[in-house]
Structure 1
């Protein structure tokens, strides 16, 4: 597999691990010194803090869906940069809340002894919409087995 395909696969694994709450696999996509910037008030300077926040905030009661496409990736030896178009959805049934939106992810990647890893990630929103599930009287949610409720 060439560098571009490996980086695409890495990004898809990052999102799959996030949406299935597989925190070990999620951590494995990141360098130890990863930086994360998910908006004006949400930033991180290392893997442990970023993964810890996601584990605490996007637990089993929160359903997420992240889709990326239109990758623009440039590779320069053992580093790379990428931009992705993101569409996402967050459903919090306990709070009768749904968010959906779009953004552009900006990533940096580093080749390590274990392959490509994300060394910086973040996004800038193009829009974000929020609604109360109370406004959708027919809303019903069934969560499939792909979402982990405990660590594997």
Structure 2
């Protein structure tokens, strides 16, 4: 059983906030904020191996560049993670998170929803700050629906829309 010292509990809270900040940064398209959640040599491994669908990104710059290019203002995303199971071992830690996401792509009139379990590894840097050194998930499911199949669906607000849209 892990220690339940105040320091341990504060570390758990730091790691929870780190994961939330990572997800918020993606959804808010805060690429500098996202970069700050990752170690320089971070690895991201997303997808569903059983479906032959895998995305492996190596290095903070590659991860942030991919997100910037593929999750830009042309889509709306909402990522939520909870039920963390975190194990701390000195200056490293691991975490498993239940995760759901919704992505709306107005240009293509589609909504994608899915769920997965994130598997993360964390490292505490020389500055005392925790960062994600490895993150990824295997999809539990992913589903896509055309907005034309939802005739009453109306997007009434979009932070990323331009005035002309």
| The two structures share one fold, judged by TM-score above 0.5 | yes
**TM-score between both structures, scaled by the size of structure 2:** 0.85
Contact 1:91/1:97 (8 A) holds in 2: yes
1:76-123, Cα deviation, whole Å (9 max, x unpaired): 000000000001101101011111011000000000115000000000
| Structure 2: tracts of 5 or more residues without a match | 1-8, 48-52
Cα–Cα, structure 1 residues 123 and 67, in superposed 2: closer, same or farther, change >3 Å?
A: same
The structure 2 residue matched to 1:59, chosen from 67, 72, 75, is 72
| Structure 1: tracts of 5 or more residues without a match | none
Q: Which residue of 1 aligns with 2:84?
A: 71
Which stretch of structure 1 is more off in the superposition, 100-109 or 128-137?
128-137
Displacement over 6 Å in runs of 4+ = none
**TM-score between both structures, scaled by the size of structure 1:** 0.92
Q: What is the rounded CA distance, in whole Å, between the counterparts of 2:61 and 2:24 in structure 1?
A: 19
- Please provide the CA RMSD for this pair: 1.6
Deviation at 1:140, TM superposition (A): 1.6
Match status 1:108 vs 2:121? yes
Pick the structure with greater CA Rg: 2
Corresponding pairs, count: 147
Contact 1:21/1:148 (8 A) holds in 2: no
